[in-house]
Amino acid sequence: MPINPESYRALALQVTSHAVNQTSDASGGLRLRHEARSLIQNSINRLAQQIAASIAFIGFDCRLIVLPEYFLTGFPMGDTLAGWAEKACIEMAGAEYEALGKIAQKHKIFLAGNAYEVDPNFPGLYFQTCFILDPSGSIVLRYRRLNSLFAPTPHDVWDKYLDCYGLEGVFPVAKTEIGNLAALASEEILYPEVARCLAMRGAEIFVHSTSEVYNKNLTPKDAAKITRAVENMAYVVSANTAGIANIAIPIASADGGSKIIDHRGIVLAETDAGESMAAFAEIDLGALRRDRRRPGLNNLLSRQRFELYAESYLQSHFYPANTILEGEVDRKHFLQTQQATIERLAKLGII
């Protein structure tokens, strides 16, 4: 029976991130890099089995699977930028993407995730990248996280990044057979402007790879997930980690609460802690598109008056751009830049 592209199932697959931090120190080394790559490959092999079993259980109309934030490596703790790039970051056309692409191709799915990635245009740096692979195994979307406290972002090399990729490369939307897909990285769910810029370009489904504290009480991030869905009339498919192993912090510090929210803000599916495929639900694109085209009070997207706000944004300067465009920096740079921003805004009477 043919699958209806406007009605299919999505899965926020909650899996453990097996960190590579302890395979190396700041000095790096080929042997230690090899150990990290071995751990990454083991994670991909595990995922291949988990994805196959999940689809067999959920049904073959499962067309979209979202994986957690940095599911292959964990996050850097004490590593230099160069050290983490050498140890944990994958290449834009690397073997890891090829292996994940084969999983997408085998199961005829769109596979979304998040990884640390190096870019030959920016030697010595890396970006936290959200990606989407299509059923052919090709990357159809590459979004670099724009707001991060301790990692480089396109905004930190803004002028050069725009020269390389343009504004559409900063806010990419993949127009696919299962809808217009866009990505949000982790805490960026708290930044309404990111989702809004993607919605302006037609985003219908936000894939949200995250690794966050889960609480049965409403957290700021969970409140934001509902808000981003409602204000943009879009689905949010949010996959959290099932803990982070092989790292100094307690494993369950970021564990649980993966969920799918529809364009009305209704939580369709949610899972508790631990590895789980329970957060799956139907994506009804037909209903979303009908609501987006229906006049009335609830059609918030069509009622936006962006010109009202444009001048205020143009006149405001908070965290500065281009702070690592010239020369290598260490992690202290990010906190120092934030502290300087706070002091400047305080002197202006803004905060």
Per-residue pLDDT tens for 273-325? Answer: 999 999 999 999 999 999 999 999 999 999 999 999 999 999 999 999 999 98
Same structural domain for residues 109 and 152?
A: yes
Q: Per the domain annotation, does 122 fall within a domain? A: yes
pLDDT at res. 26: 46
Same structural domain for residues 219 and 331?
A: no
Same structural domain for residues 271 and 327?
A: no
Same structural domain for residues 114 and 145?
A: yes
The full DSSP string for 243-265 is -EESSSS-GGGSB---EEE-TTS
Q: Per the domain annotation, does 286 fall within a domain? A: yes
Q: Per the domain annotation, does 1 fall within a domain? A: no
Residue 329 in tokens: 């920096």
The amino acid present at 204, given as its one-letter code, is E
Same structural domain for residues 341 and 258?
A: no
pLDDT at res. 31: 64
Contacts 24+ apart (CB under 8 A), 270-276: 271/12, 271/14, 273/214, 273/242, 273/243, 274/14, 274/242, 274/243, 275/14, 275/15, 275/16, 275/50, 275/242, 276/14, 276/242
pLDDT in tens, the chain (351 residues): 455 678 999 999 999 999 998 765 444 456 677 899 999 999 999 999 999 999 999 999 999 999 999 999 999 988 889 889 999 999 999 999 999 999 999 999 999 999 999 999 999 899 999 999 999 999 999 999 999 999 999 999 999 999 999 999 999 999 999 999 999 999 999 999 999 999 999 999 999 999 999 988 899 999 999 999 999 999 999 999 999 999 999 999 999 999 999 999 999 999 999 999 999 999 999 999 999 999 999 999 999 999 999 999 999 999 999 999 887 788 899 999 999 999 999 999 999
Same structural domain for residues 186 and 245?
A: yes
Domain that holds residue 325: 305-350
Same structural domain for residues 51 and 180?
A: yes
pLDDT at res. 129: 98
Q: Per the domain annotation, does 198 fall within a domain? A: yes
Same structural domain for residues 286 and 342?
A: no
Q: Per the domain annotation, does 284 fall within a domain? A: yes
Same structural domain for residues 221 and 340?
A: no
pLDDT at res. 331: 86
The full DSSP string for 105-165 is HHHT-EEEEEEEE--TTSTT--EEEEEEE-TTS-EEEEEE-S--SSS--GGGGHHHHHHHH
Domain end marker among 285, 303, 321? 303
223's CB contacts (< 8 A; 6+ apart) are none
Same structural domain for residues 316 and 254?
A: no
pLDDT in tens, 215-231: 888 999 999 999 999 99
If phi > 0 it is left, if psi is from -120 to 50 it is alpha, else beta; for residue 108 that is left
pLDDT at res. 165: 98
Same structural domain for residues 222 and 317?
A: no
Same structural domain for residues 165 and 35?
A: yes
